[in-house]
Amino acid sequence: MTKSLRILGIDPGFDRTGFGVIDEQGNKVSWVAHGCIQTKATDEFPARLQAMRDELKSVAKKYKPDCVAMEQLFFQTNAKTAIKVGMARGVLLITLADLGLEVVDVMPTQVKQGLTGYGAADKRQIQTMVQRILALKTIPKPDDAADALAIALVGATLYRRQQQIKK
């Protein structure tokens, strides 16, 4: 029997970071939790990064994931925003490394392809598939949390594949 796997999916951001937790065993996946790490817009940027780090530690401690799937930065039209999101992602990565958690990088196109079979699927299509796959009554909200669940779903497959390659 395939070992159960708990995956924390992360959709990084500096204002709001989505997280989603799923359990996966074989072909069965189940929802555990989802939400957002929200920072205060009135705080200085370094304080926002600290708050994000501290909240991620709390989430990881509460849900005890076996691994983490995090979306890679793909494209950002605003360079200033891209730099801040990149810094936030760096803080998240070092926090996860400090916690001893392995991170699987997931590209946005992999999420779209993995959940819908279509690499250019829109956000609504992804959210609908997350709802269906996890047998949820409604589409998870906010969008960042739904995205994090999608990242976790695809990350589960990528993580298992990486583990097979390492053997």
Task: Give the active site residues.
Answer: 11, 71, 144
Amino acid at the residue 54: D
Q: Maximum distance among all alpha carbons in the chain?
A: 50
